[in-house]
């Protein structure tokens, strides 16, 4: 076996080992968020509590935080208090909107959930999960941030707790709300 062949084999082996390493020690739950950086889908549906129609069109030109949740989801209960705190923190900003999307739930149960844990921002029904598929949702809770131009800027799979909360408010929402670029 020549020296060149030996070196080639070593390079191939190292390349394969690095791929295995990535596969074994990478986070299997990490899925590249393909929708980040693309235009957010239009979403509309009845309000969970009042039944009145809600549409993303009415929030056009604002920074929208969209949170997918369900009454049967345990992790949603974990983050719910933080969502209320987050809304309180930003609600006075004229360009901030927060919408919950109730994913594949029974409406009476969703209403009971909101009554029990509190509700300060509107929640849209997505009984069939069609909105969730439009947003490429894997499960609940999932949170998206849409900028004033209607582009999805951030996606988080899992509850908004601890560092996730800090990152979302300090590094995502605050810069987007202070962005002087006019809305389209």
Partner 1 sequence: MFRFVPILICLCVVFLAPGLAKVVDETEIDQKVREIAKTLRCTVCQTENIWESGAPLAHQMREAVRERVIQGQSTEEIRAYFHSRYGDYIMMEPPKQGVNWLIWLTPFLLLFGGGALLWREVKGWVTRTPPSQPPPALDEASRRRIERELQQDKRE
Asked whether position 1 contacts partner 1 by CB under 8 A, the answer is yes
Asked whether position 24 contacts partner 1 by CB under 8 A, the answer is no
Other CB atoms within 10 Å distance of the CB of residue 4: 8
Among 10, 133, 161, 183, binds partner 1 (CB under 8 A): 133
Among 3, 4, 5, 162, binds partner 1 (CB under 8 A): 5
Asked whether position 144 contacts partner 1 by CB under 8 A, the answer is no
Q: Are 164 and 171 within 8 A, CB to CB?
A: no
Among 46, 61, 136, 158, binds partner 1 (CB under 8 A): 136
Task: Label residue 32 left, alpha or beta by phi (over 0 means left) and psi (-120 to 50 means alpha).
Answer: beta
Asked whether position 114 contacts partner 1 by CB under 8 A, the answer is no
Q: Applying CB under 8 A, which part among 27-35, 74-82, 83-91, 154-162 lies near partner 1?
A: 27-35
Token code pair at residue 20: 């295995």
Asked whether position 106 contacts partner 1 by CB under 8 A, the answer is no
Q: Are 129 and 66 within 8 A, CB to CB?
A: no
First to last CA, the chain: 65
Given the complex with partner 1, which of 105 and 147 has the nearer CB atom? 105
3-state secondary structure of 157: strand
Among 59, 135, 144, 156, binds partner 1 (CB under 8 A): 135
Asked whether position 101 contacts partner 1 by CB under 8 A, the answer is no
Token code pair at residue 8: 């080639």
Other CB atoms within 10 Å distance of the CB of residue 115: 10
Given the complex with partner 1, which of 116 and 128 has the nearer CB atom? 128
Other CB atoms within 10 Å distance of the CB of residue 85: 13
Which residues contact partner 1 (rule: CB under 8 A)?
Answer: 1, 5, 9, 12, 31-32, 34-35, 38, 104, 128-130, 132-136, 138-139
């Amino acid at each position: 076996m020549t020296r060149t062949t030996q070196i080639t084999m070593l390079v191939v082996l190292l390349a394969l080992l690095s791929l295995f390493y990535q596969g074994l020690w990478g986070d299997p739950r990490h899925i590249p968020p393909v929708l980040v950086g693309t235009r957010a889908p239009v979403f509309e549906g009845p309000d969970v509590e009042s039944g009145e129609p809600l549409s993303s069109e009415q929030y056009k030109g604002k920074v929208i935080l969209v949170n997918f949740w369900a009454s049967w989801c345990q992790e949603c209960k974990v983050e719910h208090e933080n969502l209320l705190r987050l809304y309180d923190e930003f609600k006075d900003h004229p360009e901030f909107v927060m919408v919950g999307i109730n994913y594949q739930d029974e409406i009476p149960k969703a209403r009971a959930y909101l009554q029990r844990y509190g509700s300060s921002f509107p929640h849209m029904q997505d009984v069939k999960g069609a909105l969730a598929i439009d947003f490429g949702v894997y499960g609940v809770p999932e949170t998206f941030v849409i900028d004033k131009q209607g582009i999805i800027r951030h996606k988080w799979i899992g509850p908004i707790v601890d560092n996730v909360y800090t990152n979302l408010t300090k590094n995502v929402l605050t810069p987007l709300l202070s962005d002087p670029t006019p809305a389209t």
